[in-house]
Copies of this chain bind each other. A is one copy, B any other.
Amino acid sequence: MYTVLDDALTATVAITRDSLPVALPLGFARDGDSVLLHGSTGSDFFRRLAAGTPLYITVTHLDGLVYARSLFDSSMRYRAAVIHGVATVVPDADKQPALLTLAEHLMPGRAAEVRPMRTRELAATLVLRVPLTNASVKDNSSSVIEEHDDGEDRTVWAGVLPLRVVAGDPEPSRDSERGPTAPSVYAARDRIHGYSSGPDGTENSERPD
């Protein structure tokens, strides 16, 4: 469960609004046995979460396409975590450390490179905590499964096409073109290279630049 959450940067968060489902993709981070979300105090969606509307969080890694010898037996290699429950608002005193936990997950090392958060920025941000009390994980990282022979052509290739997320070359903003790239960007890149790398967990931490 921890690995599936920690390997991800975004989750889809669903709620019921006026009896209908609504879902949004959000950045998140695990903090011990809970996950943290953050958003604008001006967001209707976040205000509903803060008010305690039940939510359902889905985190998915698509790790490959599974080519069986029939379309019916073909599938996907994936890992998914789901969490349901109710969020609580992180109180003002704990907001800054919680936001630093989020930042450290999404952009490791970046907080030390930029100016501190402003009081007005903290005031404009809602930070929510959702416990992992009601959570489950599904790891379908198996290879091809063909339950029984029902007419498949055994000479056809079967196997898995693995997929993963990789980071490319940093793109500097116009006024950053002359300076060196921030170390935190390489830290994120090194970390992301390993994302969704499949069950062997191999990491690629080279810096081609």
Contacts and interface: CB of A to CB of B under 8 A. Distances in A.
A14 B19 contact: no
For the residues of A in contact with B, the DSSP-based class is mixed
A70 B114 contact: yes
A84 to B, nearest CB: 7
A161 B152 contact: no
Contacts of A144: 173
Instruction: Tell me how many chains of this kind the complex includes.
Output: 2
Given A16-B16, A65-B188, A71 B103 contact: yes
Interface in A48-81: 54-56, 58, 60, 62, 64-65, 67-72, 74, 76, 78, 80
A153 interface: yes
Given A12-B58, A76-B10, A165-B163, A82 B23 contact: yes
Given A58-B25, A168-B163, A176 B188 contact: no
A102 to B, nearest CB: 9
A33 interface: no
Interface string A179-190: 111101100110
Contacts of A154: 175
A165 B164 contact: yes
A181 B158 CA distance: 8
Contacts of A110: 67, 71, 74
A111 interface: yes
A93 interface: no
B67 A185 contact: yes
Interface of A: 9-10, 12, 14-16, 19-25, 27, 54-56, 58, 60, 62, 64-65, 67-72, 74, 76, 78, 80, 82, 84, 99, 103, 106-107, 110-111, 113-115, 117-118, 121, 125, 143-144, 150-173, 175-176, 179-182, 184-185, 188-189, 192, 196, 198
